[in-house]
Amino acid sequence: MFELAYWQRAIRDPVILSGLCVDFLPIFAVLFMGWGALELVLLYWLENVVIGFVTLSRIFISGFGQGKVSTSFHSIFFGAFFTIHYGGFCLAHAMALLSLIGSGQELFVADGGEVASALSMQSFLGLAFILVAIILWQFYMHVVEFIRRSEYLKTDPGNELFAPYGRIVVLHIAIFAGVFAMEKYGEPMIGVLALILFRAAFGIVMNVFTREKRKAIA
């Protein structure tokens, strides 16, 4: 698993490769559409919201889909808990983002020293495009990989409940890494690219491990 050849074979998997392409779309936006940390962190927050809805659906499908009273009850309980808990996380992240913007943190400051409190039309269109790509990829993974291939029968609501929290932890680490890189080298672009690369690396690892786990179960 730690050999280079293993990872070279892994990224040839169409699902993993497509996920990698989606993860790298923000680099294009940064280099050619003038994105900064504001657009990037906003995108990742929106991605967390999308993943939240997908996870909630997986919780219910993995419970009710097995046709058992116990798992159906677990779906209701875990679904309600996830909605409150994960929803609280997303709300807290939104408030933290607004706080960072309002405090004038350098990583969130536009050219000329003004706080980037509004998105340009170009940034908005890029944000919408990448968000649609994320939604389509998540939709494919949910419908084709999870439902049509009956993977919901191989999991349970409890496992699905905790699935997205690793992304939140990594996102926080990536943001800290980006801020550290920006402060160390004095260049906001380095911090933004560090955030993207750290986030993309985590996506590759998680997608590969998920595929390997599914193959082992099958």
For residue 148, what are its two tokens? 């049509």
Average pLDDT over residues 153-175: 82
Q: Is the pLDDT of residue 133 over 50?
A: yes
Could you tell me which residue, 201 or 210, shows the higher pLDDT? 201
Query: Using one digit for the tens of pLDDT, what is the confidence trace for 93-120?
Result: 888 777 765 554 444 444 444 434 456 6
pLDDT, the chain, mean: 79
Q: Three-state DSSP class for 35? A: coil
pLDDT for res 119? 61
Q: Which pair of structure tokens corresponds to residue 142?
A: 């949910």
pLDDT recorded at residue 203: 75
Q: Residue 213: its pLDDT value, please? A: 63
CB–CB of 36/110 below 8 Å? yes
**Token pair listed for 138:** 């998540």
Q: Measuring CA to CA, how many Å separate 18 from each of 46, 140, 195?
A: 19, 11, 20
Structure tokens at 154: 């191989």
- Neighbouring CB atoms inside 10 A of 92's CB total 10
Maximum mean pLDDT: which of 44-53, 113-122, 187-196: 44-53
What is the model's pLDDT at position 124?
Answer: 81
How much is the pLDDT for 139?
A: 93
155 vs 203, more confident: 155
**Does 37 have pLDDT greater than 80?**
no
Q: How many CB atoms lie within 10 A of CB 30?
A: 20
d(CA 204, CA 142): 18
